[in-house]
Amino acid sequence: MFNLTRRHMIAATAGALATITTTRIATAQQQSAATDGGEGPFKLPSLPYGYDALEAAIDTDTMHLHHDKHHAAYVANLNAAAKQSPQIADHPMEHLLANLDQVPDVVRTTVRNNLGGHVNHSMFWEIMGGTGTAPAGEAAAAIERDFGGLDQLKTAFNTTGAKIFGSGWVFVTVTQEGKLGIEARPNQDTPLMEGKRVLFGNDVWEHSYYLRYQNRRADYLSAWWTVVNWTKIDERYAAARQGKLTI
Environment class of 171 (CB within 10 Å of its CB; exposed 0-12, middle 13-18, buried 19+): buried
What element of type H or E holds 51? Answer: none
- Kindly report the backbone phi and psi dihedral angles of residue 65, in degrees, each rounded to the nearest multiple of 5, phi listed first: -65, -40
The Cα–Cα gap between 237 and 139 comes to 6
What does 174-239 look like in DSSP terms, one character per residue? E-TT--EEEEEEETT--GGGGT-EEEEEEE-SGGGTHHHHTT-HHHHHHHHGGGB-HHHHHHHHHH
The Cα–Cα gap between 91 and 77 comes to 17
Query: Three-state DSSP class for 17?
Result: helix
The Cα–Cα gap between 157 and 228 comes to 13
The domains located in the chain, with CATH, are 58-247 (3.55.40.20)
The Cα–Cα gap between 179 and 74 comes to 31
Per-residue pLDDT tens, the chain, 247 aa: give them. Answer: 334 444 444 444 444 444 433 334 333 333 344 457 789 999 999 999 999 999 999 999 999 999 999 999 999 999 999 999 999 999 999 999 999 999 999 999 999 999 999 999 999 999 999 998 999 899 999 999 999 999 999 999 999 999 999 999 999 999 999 999 999 999 999 999 999 999 999 999 999 999 999 999 999 999 999 999 999 999 999 999 999 999 9
